[in-house]
Structure 1
């Protein structure tokens, strides 16, 4: 809806033009455009997280708030995931844990949908079949790999999700990336290889089958971020709708797979013998994972898949440190410097996305400490 006001005759100052675009399909975002001067437009996106309106914040504060919440929920999520797999005999039942997790997510999605006025599905079911498959592959393979790998190795693989995200961005959305982004991916790849070699030499839990599982999960993870971003923007669906249908259909996929493979009942009987260590911990695991997922989807919708991946990658680096602190495991300094190579790749990617502001800040620091001389302007008398 746009409304224009004619300025009184003789008044030179431009009158504000307010253009408010409300997308009835989206449910969480609106766009408010304000033209205050002839030079350009200012756009403000209304950002809501559950019942909280974050639109009064600047974009920087919105980003920092979402980042802090992502760290908080996913650090608890990672701790509970490793704690569950520390239970003797649980290692083969990663897919059953994923089934329980998807069941909780579906219940949460249904409850959230009941609170919304618009309950109509926006995204086609065919798209949800694809999203559900990618979600199952990402989380199921990732959960299962924990039973065969040292947890920090599983996490360091997930830190390199940026690699398939970049490839997926090129193939799925036709994006172009800079040489710095490509260098960042190479650093991550080298660091990943070195970290895996270190783990294979010192960890008694190392298993190449786990490497295959987490690599497949990594590929699915890279694809799903781009598909989610493209789908959310194209159809304007809410995060709650995407979670409900993706995980609801994914629950059916996993259930059918477990029944066909004959793995359902052994896992059920095992968990029945250890209800607190399995179902009890899985409640906390699922709640924190669901809240973290919702925040990440909000970040994808507001800031893009690449920014969201960068934030979750940094969170995983903290998770690795906490894993060594809370759970005893063999350590070698090769973990440290190969992990630093991955971190270098992360910071190269961050620099690529903030090159202009970072260059200005770095130049200011160099000038401040006298490491870079300012260019002297030519005086008129020195010009020949």
Structure 2
């Protein structure tokens, strides 16, 4: 297509404008393990990544609780994290050999901080299972949207509205009620476990923002982030276990039950490693808040499955407090997609008043 631009002296310049194809616009690389989703629609990318996150992390949660069901294992949560980190490093090294670009993109000082956060969130989280009802541990992790919002303000300078802060209040209230309900029905309730999981959630909220900022800034791969974060973290945990004197007792205990500890830990680590990579892809493609929202919904299902597969005390107060937490999650999602959701609900109401007309479908790419 030719457009003529007329100059002041009356002459004209002919400019050729070529139509752009979709292939001419470079799309961000999106990988789901060995599958390339780059050229798929945003809807397909989000659905597949979400489904994979649910699949691997549900197995991960089941194996974690199963390991801690072994009598005598509860004090050794940090040792399980050490074994888990070792597996992650081995998986990361294998994956790195399959990549053409093996250079490190993110500065090592950033990885020292990321490793500290990773050890904090995973080590404290694994250890807390030895002191808490698993459902309570999960409901606390559901509320890591709170530190994610705070971290977004402090680390990335993001701004949030009154609905976001209302969501935080709902989550905080739900946590308090759920904890009170747990203390009345769970005979081994321990306040120390609450402190551990609270610190883990705070570290988890910070780590998502730090990962998002550095992955986008330096263009690092998921493999690189996992390898260096968990590789450095392995030595952090090893030092802690040596200083505390827990390394040898934990090693001797696990030798007595190799299948129930190291064997289950293989499945636990494989599903966790794949889950971490998929969540990092969600962070890179859709942002930290969306990734946390997906993992939060997964945790809600984990709680239900935990009561189904493992017998434990139950009270109706779990449901009420859990619903308050879900209300907070809904408010957070609504705040993120307020304009689109308002349009959709308005159209839905008009459709109800005009029978026979169906509302126009809003694709997933418009609400994530």
Partner of residue 362, structure 2: none
More divergent stretch after superposition (350-359 vs 315-324):
350-359
Matched, 1:16 2:19: yes
User: Aligned pair in 2 of structure 1 residues 89, 363: CA closer, same or farther (>3 Å)?
Assistant: same
Partner of residue 90, structure 2: 107
- Consecutive unaligned residues in structure 1, runs of 5 or more: 1-5, 21-31, 34-42, 372-384
What is the CA distance between 1:369 and its match in structure 2? 2.2
**SS across alignment from 1:101:** helix
Partner of residue 304, structure 1: 287
State the alpha-carbon separation in 2 of the partners of residues 19 and 366 from structure 1: 36
State the alpha-carbon separation in 1 of the partners of residues 80 and 48 from structure 2: 30
State the alpha-carbon separation in 2 of the partners of residues 137 and 208 from structure 1: 18
State the alpha-carbon separation in 2 of the partners of residues 116 and 170 from structure 1: 35
Residues 168, 328 of structure 2: 8 Å contact kept: yes
What is the CA distance between 1:355 and its match in structure 2? 1.3
State the alpha-carbon separation in 2 of the partners of residues 364 and 125 from structure 1: 51
**SS across alignment from 2:160:** coil
State the alpha-carbon separation in 2 of the partners of residues 268 and 45 from structure 1: 44
Partner of residue 261, structure 1: 244
**SS across alignment from 1:45:** coil
Aligned pairs for 1:308-319 within 5 A = 308-319=291-302
**SS across alignment from 1:109:** helix
Q: Deviations over 1:1-60 (max 9, x none)?
A: xxxxx848899995224799xxxxxxxxxxx52xxxxxxxxx743322233111222111
Partner of residue 308, structure 2: 325
**SS across alignment from 2:99:** coil
State the alpha-carbon separation in 2 of the partners of residues 311 and 129 from structure 1: 27
Alignment partner for residue 199 of structure 2, among 182, 194, 216? 216
What is the CA distance between 1:359 and its match in structure 2? 0.8
State the alpha-carbon separation in 2 of the partners of residues 13 and 184 from structure 1: 53
Partner of residue 178, structure 2: 195
**SS across alignment from 2:353:** coil
State the alpha-carbon separation in 1 of the partners of residues 240 and 29 from structure 2: 41
Q: Deviations over 1:146-196 (max 9, x none)?
A: 000000000000000000000000001100011111111111010011000
**SS across alignment from 2:102:** coil
Alignment partner for residue 340 of structure 1, among 313, 316, 323? 323
State the alpha-carbon separation in 2 of the partners of residues 356 and 207 from structure 1: 44
Aligned pairs for 1:15-164 within 5 A = 15-17=18-20, 33=25, 44-164=27-147
**SS across alignment from 2:104:** coil
Alignment partner for residue 166 of structure 1, among 137, 149, 153? 149
- Alpha-carbon RMSD across the aligned residues, in angstroms, is 1.9
- Consecutive unaligned residues in structure 2, runs of 5 or more: 6-13, 355-368
Partner of residue 267, structure 2: 284
**SS across alignment from 1:57:** coil
